[in-house]
Amino acid sequence: MNGKLQGKRAVITGAAGGIGKATAALFLKEGAKLMLVDVKAEELKKIASDFHSEDVEFFVADVSKKEEVKKYAEAALKAFGGIDIFFNNAGIEGVASPFYDYPDDMFDKILDVNVKGVWYGCKYVIPKMSEKASVIITSSVAGLKGFAGLGPYVLSKHAVIGIMRVVALESAERKIRVNSVHPGPVNNRMMRSLEEKISPENPDAVQKGFEGQIPFHRYAENEDIARQVLYLASDDSAYITGTTNVVDGGMLLT
């Protein structure tokens, strides 16, 4: 039986992380060929080999460095002869601090990875994509509301909605669709790290606090996000572009 992505060629950044890896596994199951990109070389190699598939390539790159972005875009084109799906997903959480104490070097780092990384990805990958391709950018519920203590992260996730909207407009002529996905808190490394940063003495209480703001009373699993990304990547969403897709168990309702 053909999968929803049979014969499609996908590039995924942040592929060694929770959401990226879960999405890669789902895309592979649905018949896609994959180029996995991440800055963490050892984890990326391990994940690529865990998949045991000839349809999986990997490329170690820092998405905030444009020369490295150009290289992974070239490598994907060379490996597959075309690119149909781009999951522009890599991101970092930074630290937890009020804006007046937020370390300037971390502000710069978050903007470099979460904003410039997404921008360079669009700039250097999309021109290599086939007509009717699909681009999915990972924002967050933090792209749609404020979270105290996470200023630069919130700023960066708002910024990528702007990138998504402009790039969607400018790519429509080639029938390339561009959408963003907005996870609420996800049960993975990034949230564990944030919980520790917000309250080193009681990270579990931070999780309980977030869960209290979610009508479904639980964090998302990586696979909850991957399924929405699959929908946006597949022809099931052929007429959908320029949209913000919230996957948050109702968090933004509260």
What letter would DSSP give residue 248? Answer: S
Q: Would you count residue 152 as binding ligand NAD (CB under 6 A)?
A: no
Amino acid at 6: Q
Set 120, 153, 219, 239: catalytic member: 153
Q: Would you count residue 234 as binding ligand NAD (CB under 6 A)?
A: no
- Residues of span 76-135 touching ligand NAD by CB under 6 A: 89-92, 113, 117
Q: Secondary structure of the chain: what % helix, strand, coil (to 5)? A: 50, 20, 30
What does the per-residue mask of binding to ligand NAD show for 35-54, with x meaning CB under 6 A?
---xxx--------------
- Residues of span 182-211 touching ligand NAD by CB under 6 A: 183, 185-186, 188-191
Q: Assign residue 178 a region: left if phi > 0, alpha if psi is -120 to 50, beta otherwise? A: beta
> Contacts with ligand NAD: how many residues (CB under 6 A)?
28
- Please report, for residues 118, 121, 173, 229, the alpha-carbon distance to residue 168 in angstroms, rounded to integers and kept in the order given: 13, 14, 9, 16
Segment near ligand NAD (CB under 6 A); pick from 32-40, 120-128, 162-170, 238-246: 32-40
Q: How far is the CB of 86 from ligand NAD (least distance, A)?
A: 14
* 128 neighbors 179 (Cβ within 8 angstroms): no
Give the gyration radius of the chain's Cα atoms.
17
Distance between CA 35 and CA 167 in Å, rounded? 22
Residue with nearest beta carbon to ligand NAD = 17
What letter would DSSP give residue 243? Answer: -
Active site residue 153: yes
Segment near ligand NAD (CB under 6 A); pick from 16-24, 121-129, 172-180, 198-206: 16-24
Distance between CA 188 and CA 16 in Å, rounded? 12
Catalytic residues: 153
* Binding positions for ligand NAD, rule: CB under 6 A: 13-14, 16-20, 38-40, 62-64, 89-92, 113, 117, 138, 140, 183, 185-186, 188-191
